[in-house]
Amino acid sequence: MFSYVFMKILEMRPRSYDRRMDKVSKGRVRAVKEAVAREIPEGSLVLEIGCGTGELATMLVERHCIVEGFDLSPSMVESAKERIEMDNLKDRFRVVEMGVDGMDGLPKNHFDAVVSTLVFSELSDDERRFALKHAARVLKSGGLIVIADEVVPKTAVRRVIHSIIRLPLVAVTYFATKHSTRPIADLTGAIRGAGFRIEKEERSHGDSFAMVVATKKEDGTMVA
């Protein structure tokens, strides 16, 4: 999953982002998005945090979902809008330019599902807490959240190996873009702490990647 570190470099060319990312990751990025899409019930109203060029949104539309997405990158949003126009998705996919700090303006108890892929590792701890808090707020009771991202391996040996391999890639990416990503120490715990019941956690790629599926508690109270 270390190819994900290069996302910030590839984002500099949004029109070819999906194709290049798929090539660099040997198809893993698309496979992650397909796995996330499969978790979402058909016909859901979905909020996508960091929708990028709209690849995952398109997969969800194919499942008869309606997607409202946002992304902080103007070039990514523009590319998503081009996809909407080209694929005639105006009635099924809407995208706006904003960061997670704009989530407090979204309507309460509105969405059936919230999804995010490879975005939370770009956020600070405070931003992650804010995003999860408002993800819980905007979801309907019993609504679903699915987050897939780079995580810190659980064992000390795997953490050391992960750090050794990842460090030079991070340096290259930061030199080129002045941005990077941070693997999340406890993604499942953060989601649980925001008021969700964990349904499953799937870890892969040397324990350095996780997809977490959770539901908002029916009564909206915090989960211990």
**Average pLDDT of each block of 10 consecutive residues along the chain (224 residues)?**
47 56 68 96 98 95 98 92 94 97 97 95 93 98 96 72 56 42 89 97 88 85 42
**What is the structure's pLDDT at 177?**
38
Helix (H, G, I), strand (E, B) or coil at 214: strand
**What is the structure's pLDDT at 156?**
66
Cβ neighbours around 159 below 10 Å, total: 15
Q: State which amino acid sits at residue 132.
A: L
Q: Examine residue 223 and state whether it is found in any structural domain, yes or no.
A: no
Taking a C-beta distance cutoff of 8 angstroms, is the pair 141, 110 a contact?
A: no
**What is the structure's pLDDT at 160?**
59
Closest to 212 (Cα-Cα) out of 191, 185, 183: 191
**Residue 215 and residue 219: Cα distance in Å, rounded?**
11
Q: Examine residue 47 and state whether it is found in any structural domain, yes or no.
A: yes
CATH code at position 124: 3.40.50.150
Q: Examine residue 161 and state whether it is found in any structural domain, yes or no.
A: yes
Split into its structural domains, the chain has a count of 1
Taking a C-beta distance cutoff of 8 angstroms, is the pair 137, 145 a contact?
A: no
Q: Examine residue 94 and state whether it is found in any structural domain, yes or no.
A: yes
**Residue 44 and residue 151: Cα distance in Å, rounded?**
27
Taking a C-beta distance cutoff of 8 angstroms, is the pair 87, 58 a contact?
A: yes
Closest to 93 (Cα-Cα) out of 105, 85, 101, 104: 85
Domain range enclosing 111:
2-216
Q: Examine residue 12 and state whether it is found in any structural domain, yes or no.
A: yes
Q: Examine residue 222 and state whether it is found in any structural domain, yes or no.
A: no
Q: Examine residue 221 and state whether it is found in any structural domain, yes or no.
A: no
pLDDT tens, position by position, 18-55: 665 566 556 778 899 999 999 999 999 999 999 999 99
Strand locations in 129-188 (E):
139-150
Q: Examine residue 158 and state whether it is found in any structural domain, yes or no.
A: yes
Taking a C-beta distance cutoff of 8 angstroms, is the pair 26, 38 a contact?
A: no
Place of tokens 């103007």: 74
**What is the structure's pLDDT at 205?**
76
